[in-house]
Amino acid sequence: MGTTFLDIVLNAIRSPRFIVPVVTILVSGIIVKVSSNLIHKTMSKNVTSIEAKKRNTIAALIESVIKYIIWAIALLIIFSSWGFDVSSFVAGLGVAGVVAGLAIQDALKDIIMGCNIIMDNYYVVGDLISYNGFTGEVIELGLKNTKIKNVDGTVLVIANRNISEVQNLSQKKATVSVTVPTSYDEKEEKVEKVLKGAVLEIDKLPLVTSKTEYLGIDNLNSSSVDYLLRAHCKAGDQWELKRKILSIVKRECDKNKIKIPYNQIEVHHE
């Protein structure tokens, strides 16, 4: 009886050249998944929120390294099952590594700096950083690059070797300065009393980290007297805090009938 097409397919499937790669890929995928879950579970035990950010970043980095190692071993096993001389291939990695190192210097710098970022705690996932005028939250830190997302949802990818150009805004406090324009008809004593009352309300906000300052008259404009308030918060909270301060100031001014001037046009008709 002649060999049928089905027999050929079944023989191919039963062959180690097919079975070994399939099993290797499946087992490697399971190992990567299990190790990833184990790493994150171990890193997240009994830590504060601040320490959790650092541990999550380290976990992501370790997970990335393990993944590359496992898949590299899997490829060697697959090549071996296909009849390639893996031992000579591994022996040649030393020479190839030198050549590759020269060819991928930037990539190696990224990897080395990625490790330094973690070890020196330069920034971690969740920190607010600024790079070339782009400010956003670190959403991912890998071996080669860092991804940050701004308030508009735009994501920027930064090569880790550019760490010297990155500013970590989460490691310092932010200052919010709010200018309050009032009419020249308003008495300074009345405005001061109302704004100091607003300061007491501002200090009740959870975002405020230290006492808000009433700094008095800041400028005499052509159509308004400008008063200045200054509040303090964590970096990244300044935009939300400013919106809340403006809301409080507007409410207090309305309640006390303090006029906030706006541009008007006068038309004279003879």
Backbone angles phi, psi at 168, to 5 degrees: -90, 110
Report the relative pairing of strands 173-182 and 128-131 from DSSP bridges. unpaired
Q: Rounded CA gap, 223 and 197, in Å?
A: 24
Q: Average the pLDDT over 94-101 and give the result.
A: 58
Q: In which residue are the tokens 């184990």 written?
A: 38
- pLDDT of res. 18: 72
Quote the tokens at residue 4. 């049928």
- For residues 160-165, average pLDDT: 83
E-strand stretches of 191-249: 208-220, 225-234
| CB of 141 closer than 8 Å to CB of 125 | yes
CB 212 within 8 A of CB 203: yes
The structure's pTM equals: 0.47
Query: Which DSSP helix (H) or strand (E) runs through 210?
Result: strand 208-220
Tens digit of pLDDT for each residue in 8-65?
666 666 666 777 778 888 888 888 888 878 877 776 665 555 556 666 666 776 777 7
d(CA 253, CA 259): 7
**Of 185, 179, 162, 171, residue with least CA distance to 245:** 179
What's the rounded Cα separation, in Å, for the pair 254 and 122? Answer: 46
Query: Can you tell me the mean pLDDT for 237-250?
Result: 91
- Highest mean pLDDT among 39-48, 96-105, 118-127 belongs to 118-127
